[in-house]
Amino acid sequence: MVRIVVAPEDLYEFPYPSADLESKYPFEEMVFTRLDQRTMVERAEEFYALMDGRRSPRMFSPDPVPKRLIELAVATASTAPSGAHKQPWRFVATQNPEVKRAIRAAAEEEERVNYLENRMNEEWQEALAPLGTDHHKEFLEVAPWIVVLFEERYELRPDGQRRKNYYVKESVGIAAGMFIAALHNLGLATLTHTPTPMNFLTRLLGRPENERPFVLFPIGFPLPGVKVPALKRKPLDDVMVIVGA
Ligand SMILES: Cc1cc2nc3c(=O)[nH]c(=O)nc-3n(C[C@H](O)[C@H](O)[C@H](O)COP(=O)(O)O)c2cc1C
């Protein structure tokens, strides 16, 4: 692969960090291993094939999952980039049957109003029709783990002071994607679930006022033989545009 050997000052008039910046804040040399092109393509193809095999089941097996695996997936997700490095996320995990039962009951109540009392408009219902989802959420009790990802709308310091977080939704969305990828990579399945509205999760999980539920993940193994909608993913040409030659 082409390597352009050139002194940084020939490329950058304003090098980062500036001497002034480095005198005020700590910096370190970035650790990065360059791979040869064949290895890069092989790894990219392997990772794509792995991720293309990810699906969201709606029936989980009750088989237990060690806490360490959940911790590792959260640790991986928490390596995500975030606005001003605020890491404005909190992954709240439970395998407690009573907590899961309470979450299921509250989620089913909200979803009952959505599905049976027409809180969802027609366009929304039409989009969901091929998935056949309804207000029954038994998987919330059967899956061994539920992890609720909360966004930290602002930082609440121990002395009660508030500090702003930046690009919270973008940051938490990226962390969510990395969490899903980490779970899939380690051999677990999850469903991205958004029972709407989700405020009940703040109450049931005893979270502080600065946290707002973002998405709920039942996690475990798919029930053997479980079916998922036969979806097609958009081809590359439909999701990628290259501008210029
Ligand atoms: C933000 C978001 C919210 C979702 N909410 C729900 C949900 O509440 N219930 C559900 O059954 N699926 C939900 N899904 C799952 C999608 O329906 C699913 O990802 C999509 O149909 C593609 O299927 P796949 O994940 O198997 O590729 C959600 C997905 C996303 C990204």
31 within a domain of the structure (yes/no) = no
Is the residue at 18 inside a domain?
Answer: no
With a 6 Å cutoff on the Cβ, whether 230 touches ligand 1 is no
Mean pLDDT along residues 10-24? 96
193 lines ligand 1 (CB under 6 A): yes
Residue 108 lies in a domain: yes
- Domain membership of residue 102 (yes or no) is yes
We report the CATH number of the domain holding residue 136 as 3.40.109.10
What type of residue sits at position 148?
Answer: V
Nearest CA to ligand 1 atom 28: 192
Top mutation candidate among 192, 226, 232, 234 for ligand 1, by most atoms within 8 Å of CB: 192
pTM above 0.95, yes or no: yes
- Phi, psi of 132, rounded to the nearest 5 degrees: 65, 30
Say if 92 falls within a structural domain: yes
The number of folded domains in the chain is 1
**Contact at 8 Å (CB) between 137 and 104?**
yes
DSSP H or E stretch at residue 172: helix 168-186
Distance CA 138, CA 144 (A): 12
C-alpha R_g of the chain = 22
On the question of pLDDT at 245 being above 90, the answer is no
CA distance 210 to 152: 6
CB-hemisphere CA count at 13 Å for 96? 9
Residue 211 lies in a domain: yes
Asked whether residue 29 is domain-assigned, the answer is no
Note down the domain range covering 194: 58-225
16: confidence class by pLDDT, cuts 50, 70, 90: very high
Query: What does the pLDDT look like over 80-119, one tens digit per residue?
Result: 999 999 999 999 999 999 999 999 999 999 999 988 888 8
pLDDT of residue 124: 87
What are residue 164's DSSP bridge partners?
154
Alpha-carbon torsion (59, 61, 66, 72), positive or negative? negative
